[in-house]
Amino acid sequence: MFAVRVRCLPWGVSDTDNLLGEFLRARRELVSPAAVGIPIQRNRRVAGLRREEVAMLAGISVEYYLRLEQGRDRHPSEQVLTALARVLFLEDEAAAYLLQLAAADRTPRKLRRYRAESPPASLMKLVPTLPFPAFVEGRYLDVLAANPLATAVSPRLTSGHNRLRDVFLDPEERALFPEWEETAAALIAGFRQSVGSDADDARVVELVGELSVASPTFSRLWSRHDVRERQGGTVTFQHPSLGDLMVHREKLEVTGTDGIVLVIYHAARPKDDEKLALLGAMVAGETGADISDAAESTEEADRSVRPEPHRPRSRIF
């Protein structure tokens, strides 16, 4: 009798830990041949570009590109990487990530212990005083602190929760986002950018391994190797009490930390200002437990002042 030990890596790679090769393969599969001027034959079976097509467009040999993708060559020049980024239509963030992977592939790896993140004490004092929903997010998308307004937006916005776990595995969190898959894809891309090439980080191994098993959608989106800065934007929630709630999201990097950000939600429209005020009143205990009726009144008032759409008059000739 003998046992076989399977090593599970978070990047979906083999035991060679070929981060660069996996990224190149995933990204070439997303490029349409038509986008680079290659006619699509009816019997074409390859998703995206073939290896030889990438090599031709980047001005390198097929054999050399094959070695890069298979991890047999780990020392590509910046010129070659820049050419590959152009062929694969990588945006600035993904191109920078490609350079980071190439640099990381040149050094041996070993599994590192997870180190707990500690936000500055001054930040922990600030968050409860903010008049907007606010929380502190770590580089692994853990919620490190949150004020009561943030928790009123989502009960999962409390210390000890993880945004990836909640968005992918908690049905109530999922229901908050009308455009759930778009939200989930952006979250994964931000997580990949945040952890960079740290595939040997124990916390990354834990999270990605767990979610890949528990969520087929996570596994599919993770395999795309999308990369995006963790940045602000506009988010729409379908809140169980407030209904439609649109907010601007700010993500402010905390200096002196490794990837910790302060996340703040503020109203995107006048009616969202009113809804956040209702939420604040509920948190302060100034209203009843159910604010649905007040939120609905806000919606009705907004509809009542909305101008009727212009209808052209009939013309008689």
What pLDDT is stored for residue 314 in this prediction? 34
How many beta carbons lie within 10 A of that of residue 298, not counting itself? Answer: 21
154 pLDDT more than 80: yes
| 1 vs 35: which has the higher pLDDT | 35
Lowest mean pLDDT among 149-153, 173-177, 280-284: 280-284
Q: With 80 as the cut, is the pLDDT of residue 271 above it?
A: yes
The per-residue DSSP string of 80-126 comes to HHHHHHHHTT--HHHHHHHHHHHHHTTS----B--------HHHHHH
Q: pLDDT-based confidence at 317, cuts 50/70/90? A: very low
Measured in whole angstroms, how far is the alpha carbon of residue 292 from the centre of its chain? 31
Q: What is the mean pLDDT of residues 50-54?
A: 92
What number of residues does the chain have?
A: 317
Sheet holding 233-239, edge to edge: 143-146, 134-137, 261-267, 243-253, 233-239
The mean per-residue pLDDT over the stretch 162-179 comes to: 96
The confidence band for 15, taking pLDDT boundaries of 50, 70 and 90, is very low
Q: Are 260 and 254 in contact (CB under 8 A)?
A: yes
Tell me what pLDDT residue 109 has: 56
Predicted confidence band of residue 211 (pLDDT cuts 50, 70, 90)? very high
- Report pLDDT for 116: 79
Is residue 155 scored above 50 in pLDDT? yes
Would you kindly state where each structural domain of the chain is located, as residue ranges? 19-104, 121-300
Could you tell me which residue, 58 or 303, shows the higher pLDDT?
Answer: 58
- Whether 311 has a pLDDT exceeding 80, the answer reads no
| CATH topology match: 19-104 vs 121-300 | no
Q: Which residue has the tokens 């212990």?
A: 113
227 pLDDT higher than 70: yes
pTM value? 0.76
| For residues 148-154, average pLDDT | 96
Query: Would you place residue 13 in the very low, low, confident or very high pLDDT band (cuts 50, 70, 90)?
Result: very low
Q: Please say if the pLDDT value at position 12 is more than 80.
A: no
When the pLDDT of each residue in the chain is averaged and rounded to a whole number, the result is 84
CATH homologous superfamily of 19-104: lambda repressor-like DNA-binding domains (1.10.260.40)
User: What is the CATH class of 121-300?
Assistant: alpha beta
Q: Assess contact for 162 and 140: CB atoms under 8 A.
A: yes
The pLDDT of residue 316: 29
Whether the predicted pLDDT of 230 surpasses 50: yes
Task: Give the per-residue pLDDT at 108.
Answer: 56
Please give the residue that has the higher pLDDT: either 304 or 32. Answer: 32
Summarize pLDDT for 56-92 with one digit per residue, the tens: 999 999 999 999 999 888 889 999 999 999 999 999 9
Instruction: Tell me the C-alpha distance between 90 and 85, whole Å.
Output: 5
DSSP state of 12: S
